[in-house]
Every structure is written in C-alpha cells, then in structure tokens.
Amino acid sequence: MATYESLIKITGAVGDLVFYNLNGKNVVRKKSGFNKTAFKKSPSYEKVRQNSSEFGHCSKIGKIIRKKLEVYIKEAGDPLLYQKFAKVMTAIKDLDGVSERGKRTVENGLKTEEGKSLLRTFQLGSVNNISDCISIQKQILYKNDDCTLDGGTILTLKLDSENYSIESHEEIIIWNQQQTKSFKKYFSDDDFLIYFMVFRNENNEITRMGFV
C-alpha cells in the first residue's frame, strides 16, 4: 500500500491498481490475486478449500455447544473463551481418522479416547474442572473419594453434526454421601451425546464445571 499526490482524485480500479481514500489520504495498492473461480475449482487451492471447510465446521459446532451452555459458561468470566474453545474443537477434529481431509468432523474426533480427553480437560476460565472429581460410564456417575460434592446439574447434550443443531436435558444430581449416582437416559443409543456438569456452593456460586 502506498500514498500518492495528484491534482486529480482517483477512486476505483485502473489496470491492476486500486485507488481509494483512507483516513484522509489518497492510497493506491495492487489488486488482490485472489480469484473466486480459481478458489472453487483450481487444484492448487485444494488444500485451502479443505482447511476452509473444516474451519467452518469447527466454528459452527463450537458455537452451538457454547450457545447451549451459555447460561453457565458466562460465569467463567473468560473473555478469550471463544478462541480457546474454537482451538480445542479444531484439535479434536484433527483426531478424526476415518474421514478424508476436508471432511473431518468434531464428532468423529470425540469418538476417540484422546478426543474425549481433550474435551474433558478443557478449562472454563478459572473455575475448577469437574473432570478432576467426576467420571462417567453410560448412565452412571462416579465421584472420587477425595471430592466433596453435595449436588449439582448434569446436562445431556444430543449433537447433530450434519444439521448443526443440539438438544439438551438437565437433571439435578444429589449425592447424599454416595460415591456413584445414576441419571436418566433421555436419548437413544444411536444419538451422539455429550455430558456437561455444574456444581454450585451454598451461595449459588459455581465451584466446578466442565465436560465429563
């Protein structure tokens, strides 16, 4: 980008140059080499198209999950949560070993143990992570011996990656000194489910939350 002085004010494109005014200065730059048709069809843009497609997928999946949990995660007070969550969605997508490049999904990544671990250990601001205390197998929650948790909420999230939609059910969990606790089954075995838990203290402040 360069500035120029001329008695004639030029605005628009002349050849491969573009003239415009920026903050009161006359500016000229070369036209971008980007070509929409080439981007869509040229083999040289294939990797870019693949990355773009997967980036869009991760952004949409991350958005619908965050939106569903918004009432809770806003209490994490993390202004960079959007970027951090988008990053972990991308890392999970990269673990999809069954889809071809450009079509890898967060859902397939979450079907791996490493993908599940990345989601469980994702830190929501400064709030303690629930996965340090709770684990889950099917419809049973297991509490670690060294954790004191009286009650909380578990959310069962049904993720539809194809239509970018999500459904949820909430259930209150009361431990009553128990180390295990079962909870209800809201969806079928064919649905892809994610579990999220929140625990509050007597002042209704969130003390632990996260994916399990």
pLDDT (tens digit, 9 = 90+) per residue, 73-105?
999 989 899 999 999 999 999 999 999 999 999
pTM over 0.85: no
Beta-ladder partners of 173: 152
Buried b / exposed e along 152-173 (16+ C-beta atoms within 10 A): bebbbbbbebeeeebebeeeeb
123-181 pLDDT, tens per residue?
999 999 999 999 999 899 999 888 888 789 999 999 999 999 999 999 999 888 888 99
Strands 206-211 vs 128-129: parallel, antiparallel or unpaired: parallel
- Cα(35)–Cα(40) distance, integer angstroms: 9
22 band by pLDDT with thresholds 50, 70 and 90: confident
Report the alpha-carbon distance of residue 9 to residue 3 in Å, rounded: 12
